[in-house]
Amino acid sequence: MMKGFTLLELILTLVIVGILAGVAVMAWPGRDIEVGVYAQRMVSDIRYVQLTAMTCEDCETGAIVIDGNGYEFQLDGVPRSFADGQMGRDIAALGLNVSGDGVIFDSEFGEPVDSGGTSLTSALSLTLSGTAICIYPRTGYTEIGACS
């Protein structure tokens, strides 16, 4: 009598193991790492917009405009590319979302202002898939974490 497994049993076992591995990968804690990486990228983009607004000689404002699916960089209301050449960040395609009012920097000192050009009196908070990003008034310092 021959001992062993049939081809059907082996294939069925491999399919079940493959499905379980797929479920395990989706539940792996690397998702938090991905959100952290994109939050850091957004902080870098905000700092880039602030610096560009401050060094632009014929600009009034630089802004990060948020539309829920992503965000873009504008100088005086005209879309511009980020340092890497991309015109905007489509984070919805990555399964992430962003919320908040966006931020405007004046061109003279890079100070965050409201849509009327008035200096902010309190910190501005943005949220990227549950991760808070804080922009402080006066200096425009931007960091990951809740505003304190």
Tell me the pLDDT tens digit for each residue of 47-98: 999 999 999 888 888 999 998 788 999 999 899 999 899 889 898 888 888 8
- Sequence letter at residue 83: A
Q: What are the residue boundaries of the structural domains of the chain, listed by start?
A: 30-144
Does domain 30-144 sit in CATH 3.55.40.10? Answer: yes
Tell me the pLDDT tens digit for each residue of 89-147: 898 888 888 888 888 898 888 899 888 888 888 998 888 888 899 999 988 899 998 88
Structure token pair of residue 81: 């590319």
The pTM of this model reads 0.75
